[in-house]
Structure 1
């Protein structure tokens, strides 16, 4: 299965917290040597929370350095970074909150899709250099810049975990636990034998990251840690995969002598020109993802700020973006090769089925009788309603369609979310490919809290293909939900619009069992919280797409 745009949020384990201060934990994004990162809902929207491991938090020396580094990191400007928003610096557990960036990390993208080329690569280089300029201007050193710490969002690359890693440093490049601080093939030579890391070490890591983006791996990639450290100190990297303009800058950044390396600001000058580099905010504002075309989005530097000596290489689609949620620097769920986000939903060539629910004998389920408060059926006033109750936390209704549905359709319905917990109530539309002996469905659903996601469910398993994401301009009553489903060439492509906002999309290639005829419908379910959700549906349609 392929689904980009957001790192998958894993189900919480019994030992995971459900709330931290004003933040409600929604899922687990990852776990490392320093702590666990969670996706959470905060007062102003989604955030990422790193909870520090208890054995580290219990070390007074670590805790003191952690407080100092969080304070320093909070001084860093937002330019191409995921800024620190909040932190708990005393008591247990220690945690730090950063802006949530909706996108895959560079390491994942390189692993799954291979190297970047042309303007994609240039935009990455500009974005990361811009982030380092902001970080160094605040007196902070990253110390662990690597592809896994570069997230790719619709607004360009975002560098994360800057400065915080220094809290682990116990001297001579070792952590308080005695392990090596940093990632060997991205460590500067001076970090191998010396204790002090300065901005030149981050510049060296920038060169490694850009080279890795161009080739798929660091120029010092090795099978063992000792081999990587030896190569960092002694090897001359092969940069032939880079074009002439980038090759010179990356080569200078990888100089063994830290004093001979350019600064982050000088890197930026070499990429966008000296005058442009003086205004970091403007440079940061021009790094974007070009989301045009059906092949998928590509990265670029906006017109007027293009790097000098640009070599026009074939563009390779590589990144999945999402709809921007208001003024927040947050993307919605990942979209893989769906279409340009500036466009609304596709136009159907003809309507195969339509129901305004004015007739309570049009074929939908009505076993509980026609009334406004029925659990499942027609309301009698031109709507159809479904609600959960203590006996049933999920209800669905397939549209009573007699015609054979095509392989590419647009399903739409108007929804009023009358009741339900903001986080635990979900409803929407679905497409289903159910042969006789299995169950295979894609649910595009929204919550009363203004979140959207795509979920896949089979007899064997069910999981969210996208994380919960903020819907721009969401309204509980009268939103039009549109789901595009296309099955072709051994894959199923799904895209989800709320009103005219494309909020989520995936391409699923694990579809061998999705071999039944296409079916479509509406659903409601309860995953937690009170009260039970109720939704009123109207104007259900299935349209053929050419």
Structure 2
């Protein structure tokens, strides 16, 4: 997420959270990066006054009580809130990663198997929340953050403000855009059921797979009209064939025609397994892909790529170094072998990459310009200034006296050696 400094008019703190900067802004208000007294980072969303009234405050307070009971690895953890503040605020776990909307706009749609993995992950998370009696009601790509540990859903409870004063006859009063809103929600039907989150998830998955939404138009009012019109089918163009049955069902006009979230999970698993992959593998690949660490030649067993140590100053061993374009850097062996550290050039990198040495201790190599062995720096540690003197500068180690002293010491040690 982008982090910018606070403005002069921004509060320095909210509740127990110190505000450190701005990380986003939307139709609901401003999002700050906060920190608890114990150093826990938090995303603190402050609701702007234009969407606050007595009814929304009351519903927000009720939903806060429900939010306190909700937890799970795919839900950004609730950290605090105040519905009675001049500007109500809600603090949740800070997820260090872009939202799904930004990722797709920057990197393009997800492959079908990763879209199915995303669907299974989010459907399972929503199902757990529904058992607590809470609906999201504002699920969209901007409310799914792609963190280093996988996707997480944010902004539960804020739909209390989103629904304030929504009217099809007054489009200027609509908060946000209805691109992922279910037809019955857009039409003002009450009470809402879990089917609204199923529809929203279907719209989100369509966007993830194609880069567009079921209904798009120039204004929110026009989108409302398309969403609520029974004669206007959702635009599924570009959707992978294996996802079409799932998306068609999730985006059905009638709430009763949509699958349950449990069915969504099973259908997503079927898409993944039909491509010869297990759900756990697909989930790992999704996280790796969205975290920016996806490699085209991913290992078949989904083993994580080991980081390469920093280059050493050793010269390449031309007799033993394999050709970089023919032989990739081998994995670390569990059985150490007495081979020296080898430096080779890897395509795509600006500098040399060091083949993992089986022995983590520094190796000694004899410098032809000196008689004493020279110890190489450990991988990842640059040579010290004393080991890299300026050219032409005399040092004690290179003086005749130092060489004679080293020669006498080696002779003395050899005379006492038991071998």
Aligned to 1:235: 232
SS of 1:185 mapped into structure 2: coil
1:198 pairs with 2:170 = no
Task: Measure the CA separation in 1 of the matches of 2:133 and 2:170.
Answer: 23
Aligned to 2:150: 156
1:347 pairs with 2:310 = yes
Task: Measure the CA separation in 2 of the matches of 1:541 and 1:33.
Answer: 58
Shift, 1:542, TM fit: 12
Q: What count of residue pairs does the alignment treat as equivalent?
A: 311
Shift, 1:237, TM fit: 2.7
Task: Measure the CA separation in 1 of the matches of 2:171 and 2:187.
Answer: 18
Aligned to 1:261: 258
Choose which of 212, 219, 225 in structure 2 pairs with 1:217: 212
Tell me if the contact between 1:188 and 1:201 (Cα under 8 Å) persists in the aligned partners: yes
For 1:124-523, what aligned pairs fall within 5 Å after superposition? 124-170=118-164, 179-181=173-175, 183-196=177-190, 197-232=192-227, 233=229, 234-239=231-236, 241-272=238-269, 288-290=283-285, 298-299=286-287, 317-320=289-292, 343-344=306-307, 346-350=309-313
SS of 1:186 mapped into structure 2: coil
Structure 1: gaps of 5 or more residues = 1-6, 274-282, 291-297, 301-316, 322-334, 353-487, 494-536
Deviations 1:98-156 (A, max 9, x none): 11111100111111121111332222212221222122122111111111111111222
After superposition, the Cα gap between the structure-2 partners of 1:17 and 1:244, relative to the gap in structure 1 and judged at 3 Å, is same
Aligned residues: CA RMSD: 3.8
Shift, 1:492, TM fit: 9.9
Deviations 1:207-261 (A, max 9, x none): 1111111111102122222332232233223435334442211110111000111
After superposition, the Cα gap between the structure-2 partners of 1:344 and 1:206, relative to the gap in structure 1 and judged at 3 Å, is same
Aligned to 2:90: 96
Higher relative contact order, structure no. (Cα contacts within 8 Å, ≥ 6 residues apart):
1
**Which of these two proteins has the greater Rg computed from alpha carbons?**
2
Tell me if the contact between 1:169 and 1:176 (Cα under 8 Å) persists in the aligned partners: no
Considering fraction of residues, name the structure with more helix. Answer: 2
Shift, 1:344, TM fit: 4.1
Deviations 1:440-486 (A, max 9, x none): xxxxxxxxxxxxxxxxxxxxxxxxxxxxxxxxxxxxxxxxxxxxxxx
Aligned to 2:273: none
Tell me if the contact between 1:221 and 1:228 (Cα under 8 Å) persists in the aligned partners: yes
Aligned to 1:39: 33
Structure 2: gaps of 5 or more residues = 271-278, 316-346, 352-381, 389-419
Please give the TM-score of this superposition, normalised by the length of structure 1.
Answer: 0.50
SS of 2:179 mapped into structure 1: helix
Shift, 1:174, TM fit: 7.7
Aligned to 2:106: 112
Tell me if the contact between 1:172 and 1:193 (Cα under 8 Å) persists in the aligned partners: no
Task: Measure the CA separation in 2 of the matches of 1:218 and 1:81.
Answer: 24
Task: Measure the CA separation in 1 of the matches of 2:188 and 2:47.
Answer: 26
Task: Measure the CA separation in 2 of the matches of 1:63 and 1:346.
Answer: 54
